[in-house]
């Protein structure tokens, strides 16, 4: 605002908006650096908390509005087309163009140009041109940002030459239009000093080399993440390993308790393949699974894909106290070991409270003594979930269909812990998880979710922010039976109904999450009239 009158008087209409935004951003950055020199940047906070998958994804896909102020890598000045002066333009914001000028001119010359040109009586573009030929830089970026990627074509590290080591790198730029921008490449050593090489950006590829006394273990393109490119998984050779906590869930009801976590290891920025270790504790067992995951198909965003496969080895220590209430004397202690596979198709952009979800899971598990199991059987089935807005996006209808089967092999049996439950938080709510168990299941769950007012932002020390509340009405029905055909007898379905409240919140300013509290009862059996079940969870069940 302080520069508005001056800039409006000297800048051409086509330059005013990007110059004013860029200057304001640069002066604000200087002030913050002087007044609060110890303040961490968003990127530094990301590095600090990068053991969480939500933080890792936030760097690539920040799913919270208004974060453009904190990120300097926006490609479009007005992605929502909300401003009168920029709604019809697709060029980058001014601070991105200023960043390109800084890299081209160098920090010292750029700072001097800002000091001289912020209040100069001539247009900013003419003023900074005194520092060199910068019109090519501004003209290059005052147009839609190109599809862009930098990658290594060849990396040859630690080649011995007499008393030193030579390192040779070939870098290529793939762009939808011709551009020129400087690129930094860093050679990282173990215990020694890093070496930075610089490509002036001319041409589509370049070969760089360096000589060092220390061994180098990695070459990295754009180590300070100043470039805006489509992918980063090919920016390091060898890739930087990364281990993150992907998810953690808690489910509690009147008859069950469960907690689980998923840890993922991958090359940083590579969201197409990883190794996964999942651990869980429930009334049934303590379990571990470990295996590989692959993700492909049409991207949902830069970190998620529509098709996903998980192939794993699983081991469970069974809780011998888990029984069928109809046969309490039958107990099945021991252990289970299996090979399993999960295929998931999903279009979900945000896991919690999706408004137009389509999700399909196919699963199969083979339990065998040769793998370390006390029981031999197979388990397979399909799960489908769909949600859709009703009238408005504040009202969502949801439905889940689960059809599962299990079959003992040889003279073995399916243990209690491997049977399907008629009730529970993942089955018919209002029925106890041990009330009725069987080898086969057909389950249909429906839910109506209604956002409620007021939509408050209740902030607790910037750690936890309550965004809004939601009321839920639901009805679940289905049947379990040891005969696969009998689960389709609709007339014998059990039915549970109930209501609940969900809170949509954000933790540490990252992805929105949901916590819910529900109460349910069974309505198809008069003997159960008055029985009430309470349920609590920290993740959207379906």
Q: Is the bond into 238 cis (omega within 30 degrees of 0)?
A: yes
Longest distance between any two alpha carbons in the chain, whole Å: 92
Which range is least confidently modeled, 106-110, 208-212, 219-223, 475-479?
A: 106-110
Per-residue confidence (pLDDT) for residue 484, from 0 to 100? 95
Per-residue confidence (pLDDT) for residue 355, from 0 to 100? 87
Element (H, E) at 467: strand 464-481
CB count within 10 Å of CB 385 equals 21
Average pLDDT over residues 411-417: 96
CA distances from 468 to 131, 356, 447 (A): 52, 19, 18
> How far apart are the C-alpha atoms of 358 and 346, rounded to whole Å?
6
Angle at CA of residue 74, ends 129 and 507, nearest 5° = 140
Per-residue confidence (pLDDT) for residue 500, from 0 to 100? 96
Query: How far apart are the two ends of the chain, measured CA to CA in Å?
Result: 48
CB count within 10 Å of CB 415 equals 27
Average pLDDT over residues 428-450: 96
| Percent of the chain whose pLDDT exceeds 70 | 94
> How far apart are the C-alpha atoms of 530 and 519, rounded to whole Å?
12
Average pLDDT over residues 115-141: 81
Which structure tokens are listed for 405? 């089967």
Per-residue confidence (pLDDT) for residue 118, from 0 to 100? 82
CA distances from 254 to 294, 324, 441, 529, 532 (A): 37, 16, 22, 16, 9
Helices (H), 421-461: none
What is the DSSP pairing of strand 195-199 with strand 205-212? unpaired
Contact (CB, 8 A) for 500 and 481: no
Per-residue confidence (pLDDT) for residue 511, from 0 to 100? 61
In the chain, what are the domains?
A: 4-141 (no CATH), 148-238 (2.60.40.10), 242-537 (2.40.160.50)
> How far apart are the C-alpha atoms of 305 and 30, rounded to whole Å?
40
CA distances from 103 to 114, 124, 182, 207, 209 (A): 14, 17, 7, 20, 21
> How far apart are the C-alpha atoms of 498 and 412, rounded to whole Å?
38
Q: Where are the beta strands (DSSP E) in 162-240?
A: 164-175, 183-189, 195-199, 205-212, 216-221, 236-237
> How far apart are the C-alpha atoms of 236 and 187, rounded to whole Å?
10
Q: Is 397 exposed, middle or buried (0-12, 13-18, 19+ CB in 10 A)?
A: middle
> How far apart are the C-alpha atoms of 253 and 531, rounded to whole Å?
13
φ, ψ for residue 201, nearest 5 deg: 90, 0
- 33 strand-pairing partners: none
Confidence band of 248 (pLDDT split at 50, 70, 90): confident
* pLDDT digit string, tens, across residues 54-95: 788 777 777 665 555 556 677 887 776 666 666 667 888 888
């Amino acid at each position: 605002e302080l520069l508005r009158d001056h800039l409006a008087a000297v800048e051409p209409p086509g330059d005013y908006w990007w110059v004013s935004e860029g200057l304001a951003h640069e002066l604000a950055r200087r002030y913050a650096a002087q007044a609060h020199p110890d303040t961490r940047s968003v990127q530094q906070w990301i590095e600090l908390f990068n053991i969480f998958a939500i933080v890792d994804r936030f760097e690539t896909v920040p799913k919270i509005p208004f974060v453009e102020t904190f990120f300097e890598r926006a490609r479009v000045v007005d992605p929502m087309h909300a401003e009168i002066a920029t709604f019809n333009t697709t060029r980058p914001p001014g601070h991105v163009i200023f960043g390109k000028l800084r890299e081209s001119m160098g920090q010292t010359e750029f700072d001097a140009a800002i000091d001289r040109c912020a209040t100069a009586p001539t247009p900013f573009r003419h003023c900074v041109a005194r520092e060199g030929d910068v019109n090519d830089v501004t003209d290059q970026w005052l147009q839609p940002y190109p599809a862009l990627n930098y990658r290594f074509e060849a990396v040859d590290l630690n080649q011995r030459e007499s008393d030193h080591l030579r390192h040779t790198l070939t870098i290529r730029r793939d762009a939808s239009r011709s551009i020129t921008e400087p690129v930094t490449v860093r050679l990282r050593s173990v215990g020694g000093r890093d070496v930075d090489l610089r490509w002036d950006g001319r041409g589509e590829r370049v070969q760089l080399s360096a000589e060092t006394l220390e061994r180098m273990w990695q070459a990295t393109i754009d180590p300070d993440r100043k470039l805006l490119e489509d992918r980063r998984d090919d920016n390091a050779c060898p890739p930087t390993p990364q281990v993150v906590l992907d998810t953690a869930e808690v489910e509690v009801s009147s008859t069950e308790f469960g907690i689980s976590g998923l840890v993922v290891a991958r090359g940083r920025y590579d969201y197409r393949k990883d190794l996964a270790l999942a651990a869980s504790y429930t009334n049934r067992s303590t379990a571990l699974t470990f295996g590989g995951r692959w993700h492909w198909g049409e991207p949902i965003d830069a970190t998620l894909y529509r098709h996903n496969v998980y192939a794993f080895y699983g081991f469970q220590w069974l809780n011998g106290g888990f029984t069928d209430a109809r046969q309490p004397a039958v107990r099945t202690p021991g252990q289970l070991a299996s090979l399993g596979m999960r295929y998931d198709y999903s279009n979900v952009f945000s896991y919690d409270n999706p408004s137009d979800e389509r999700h399909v899971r196919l699963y199969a598990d083979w339990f065998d003594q040769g793998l370390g199991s006390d029981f031999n059987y197979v388990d397979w089935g399909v799960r489908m979930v769909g949600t859709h807005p009703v009238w408005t996006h504040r009202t969502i209808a949801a439905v889940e269909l689960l059809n599962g089967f299990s079959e003992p092999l040889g003279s073995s049996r399916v243990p209690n812990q491997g049977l399907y439950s008629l009730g529970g938080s993942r089955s018919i709510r209002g029925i106890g998880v041990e009330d009725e168990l069987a080898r086969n299941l057909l389950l249909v769950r429906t839910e109506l979710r209604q956002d409620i007012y007021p939509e408050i932002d209740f902030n607790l020390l910037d750690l936890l922010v309550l965004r809004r509340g939601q009321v839920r009405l639901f009805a679940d029905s289905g049947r379990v039976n040891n005969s696969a055909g009998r689960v389709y007898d609709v007339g014998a379905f059990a039915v549970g109904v109930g209501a609940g409240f969900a809170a949509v919140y954000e933790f540490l300013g990252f992805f929105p999450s949901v916590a819910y509290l529900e109460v349910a009862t069974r309505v198809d059996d008069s003997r159960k009239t008055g029985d009430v079940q309470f349920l609590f969870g920290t993740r959207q069940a379906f």
